[in-house]
Structures are given as structure tokens and as C-alpha cells.
């Protein structure tokens, strides 16, 4: 394979990556703003891990995919769930025990990295979602940055500028290839 073919493949690859990056940034920003929090994708919610309580299952700063639960009373020991605490915060911990009473299902939970069980039982109606075993390490830091006003501007504008700049370089190279005499004579007079 000659150098020109390799350069064309590389050029196409870089352009595709920059374009996909731009599309991804637009998706993250719009999805975050539309949901009022974490982005959603194909029915899954993407949650940012803010503490190390579930390490090594997932690390701080990771993104995890959770699926809203249809029947919060059907969860079992070992499931990792996201639930709403009394103060309104969301927590993702593992179910260590299922407690069924006549009219109520409750869950004892614990972070994998915590020594003690969570102090309060989780009522089934407070369970928001179940972890789907999908984790993307460190992307949470980026998502949090992208949700800020500066981050939103940078994540939308920077890939666009890079794509435009790279397109300009590609066009200039193509023009140089089409008319090498013109570019050579311009270089000699300069």
C-alpha cells in the first residue's frame, strides 16, 4: 500500500472520529439538559458514580447504566439498585437481604466497599433502577464537566472547530495535489 492510500485512510478515520465526537457531545449535552440530570440512552439512564462505596465493582468517576425497574418488589439478593434516600439523594448499593412483610417489601443494602450495612432499609417504592452491568470508567468526570455552562460550550464548540480545521487542511492538501505548479510557483515567489 502506498503512502497516499495510507494518508487517505488516516484522513477518513480522523474525520469520522471528529464527527462522531461532535455528535456524541451534542447528545450528552442535549440529553443532560432534557432529563434535568443524567443523560439517557435507549431506555437506560446513565448515572455518574460520585463515591467509592461500590469499589471495585465500579470506581469513582465512572458512568454506570441503570434500567428503571418495573416491579420493585421482585428484586433479589445480590442485585445492585439505585434508590432514593429520604433526603432526596440517589444511592446505588447492593441488596444484601430481602425483607418481605405482609404488605411491604424492603431491602437491606450495602456498598461493596463499605464495612457496615446501610443504616436504613430501602422501601421497594423508593427503588428507582437496577444496575445493568455496564460501566464506563472515568467518563463521569467528563459528563459532570459537560453539564456545566463552560463545559457545555467547550464540548459543543471544540469538536466543531477541530472538524472545520481538519477539513480546511484536507481541502488545502487536495488543492495542492490538483495544481502542483501553482503551489510550487507561489512558494518560489514568497
**Alpha carbon distance 80, 112 (integer Å):** 10
**Alpha carbon distance 93, 114 (integer Å):** 10
Q: What is the CA radius of gyration of the chain?
A: 25
- With a CB cutoff of 8 Å and minimum separation 6, the contacts of 124 are 72, 73, 75, 104, 105, 106, 107
Average pLDDT over residues 129-148: 81
Average per-residue pLDDT for the chain:
80
pLDDT of residue 40: 66
Residue 51: which pLDDT band, with cuts at 50, 70 and 90? confident
pLDDT at residue 22 above 80?
no
pLDDT at residue 3 above 60?
yes
Q: Residue 66, SS3?
A: strand
Residues paired with residue 129 on neighbouring β-strands, in sequence order: 68, 82
Q: What is the pTM of this model?
A: 0.62
**Alpha carbon distance 186, 190 (integer Å):** 6
Among the listed residues 12, 16, 35, 51, the single catalytic one is 51
pLDDT of residue 25: 66
What are the φ/ψ torsions at residue 89 (nearest 5 degrees)? -80, 150
DSSP secondary structure of 72-119: TTS--TT-EEEEE-TTS-EEEEEEEEEEE-SS-EEEEEE-TT-SS--S
pLDDT of residue 77: 93
How far is the CA of 21 from the CAs of 24, 63, 65, 160, in angstroms?
A: 5, 17, 20, 9
pLDDT of residue 33: 62
Buried b (16+ CB within 10 A) or exposed e, 75-85: beeebbbbbee
Residue 38: which pLDDT band, with cuts at 50, 70 and 90? low
pLDDT, tens digit (0-9, with 9 covering 90-100), for 160-174:
787 788 778 878 877
pLDDT of residue 184: 55
**Alpha carbon distance 186, 63 (integer Å):** 52
CA atoms within 13 A on the CB side of 38: 20
Q: Which three cell numbers stand for residue 142?
A: 467528563
Residue 128 exposed, middle or buried by CB count within 10 Å (0-12, 13-18, 19+): middle
pLDDT at residue 94 above 70?
yes
Q: Determine whether 51 is an active site residue.
A: yes
Amino acid at each position: 500500500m502506498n503512502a497516499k492510500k495510507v494518508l487517505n485512510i488516516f484522513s477518513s478515520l480522523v474525520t469520522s472520529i471528529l464527527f462522531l465526537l461532535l455528535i456524541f457531545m451534542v447528545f450528552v449535552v442535549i440529553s443532560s439538559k432534557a432529563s434535568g440530570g443524567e443523560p439517557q440512552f435507549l431506555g437506560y439512564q446513565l448515572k455518574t458514580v460520585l463515591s467509592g462505596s461500590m469499589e471495585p465493582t465500579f470506581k469513582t468517576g465512572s458512568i454506570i447504566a441503570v434500567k428503571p425497574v418495573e416491579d420493585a418488589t421482585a428484586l433479589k439478593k445480590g442485585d445492585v439498585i439505585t434508590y432514593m434516600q429520604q433526603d432526596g439523594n440517589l444511592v446505588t448499593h447492593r441488596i444484601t437481604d430481602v425483607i418481605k412483610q405482609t404488605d411491604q417489601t424492603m431491602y437491606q443494602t450495602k456498598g461493596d466497599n463499605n464495612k457496615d450495612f446501610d443504616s436504613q432499609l430501602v422501601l421497594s417504592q423508593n427503588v428507582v433502577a437496577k444496575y445493568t452491568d455496564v460501566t464506563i470508567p472515568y467518563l463521569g468526570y467528563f459528563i459532570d464537566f459537560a453539564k456545566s455552562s463552560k463545559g457545555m460550550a467547550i464540548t459543543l464548540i471544540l469538536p466543531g472547530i477541530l472538524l472545520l480545521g481538519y477539513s480546511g487542511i484536507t481541502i488545502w492538501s487536495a488543492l495542492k495535489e490538483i495544481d502542483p505548479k501553482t503551489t510550487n510557483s507561489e512558494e518560489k515567489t514568497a
